[in-house]
């Protein structure tokens, strides 16, 4: 009798977990990596990661964690309804020279509750125009 009860409990728990997964939010990003390429020092270091709630319940982003102080993520903290889209904007401090590869961790109530986004690129000094210091002979 105990085996029958345990088996029924297992079937019920499995069924409930399947039902709860089908009625949960799910986040889908259009891209997970933004490559700035080579950019000049002081240029605009913002990018945007667009996402959609492809689940059946409202999506709530509870936090967006940056990997260092050189990135600044911002997002709308209101729930994203099923079928709706929104975005996370990320700024990078382009005053820092050199190559970079930084992660932003998005935590939500979705089935895929943790998503990692990446920004990468290389910041170089702006090229200064060359001025001619020699004078041309007069004609």
Residue 62 domain flag: yes
Handedness of CA 113, 80, 116, 103 (dihedral sign): negative
Q: Which of 24, 19, 17, 34 is nearest to 108 (CA)?
A: 24
Please tell me the distance from the alpha carbon of residue 65 to that of residue 103, in angstroms, as a whole number: 8
pLDDT for position 92: 97
Is residue 116 domain-resident? yes
- For residue 37, what is the domain's CATH number? 2.60.40.10
Kindly state whether residue 87 falls inside one of the protein's structural domains.
Answer: yes
What residue numbers bound the domain in which 79 lies?
A: 26-124
Given this model, what pLDDT does residue 24 score? 95
- The domain total for the chain is 1
Residue 130 belongs to a domain: no
User: Rounded to two decimals, what is the model's pTM?
Assistant: 0.75
139 residues of the chain, pLDDT tens digit each: 666 555 555 555 555 554 445 689 999 999 999 999 999 999 999 999 999 999 999 999 999 999 999 999 999 999 999 999 999 999 999 999 999 999 999 999 999 999 999 999 999 998 766 666 565 656 5
**pLDDT at position 126:** 85
Say which residues have a Cβ less than 8 Å from residue 56's Cβ, sequence separation at least 6.
Answer: 22, 23, 24, 25, 82
Please state, in angstroms and rounded to a whole number, the distance separating the CA atoms of residues 116 and 130. 43
Cα three-residue angle 10-24-117, rounded to 5 degrees: 115
In the prediction, which pLDDT does 81 show? 97
């Amino acid at each position: 009798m105990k085996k029958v009860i345990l088996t029924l409990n297992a079937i019920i728990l499995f069924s409930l977990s399947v039902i709860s997964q089908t009625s949960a939010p799910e986040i889908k990003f259009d891209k997970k990596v933004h490559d700035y390429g080579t950019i000049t020092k002081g240029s605009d270091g913002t990018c945007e990661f667009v996402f959609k709630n492809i689940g059946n319940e409202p999506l709530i982003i509870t936090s967006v964690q940056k990997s260092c102080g050189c990135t600044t993520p911002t997002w709308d903290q209101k729930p994203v309804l099923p079928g709706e889209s929104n975005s996370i904007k990320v700024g990078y401090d382009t005053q820092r020279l050199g190559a970079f590869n930084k992660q932003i961790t998005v935590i939500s109530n979705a089935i895929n509750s943790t998503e990692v986004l990446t920004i990468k690129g290389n910041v170089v000094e702006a090229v200064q125009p060359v001025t001619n210091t020699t004078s041309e002979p007069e004609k």
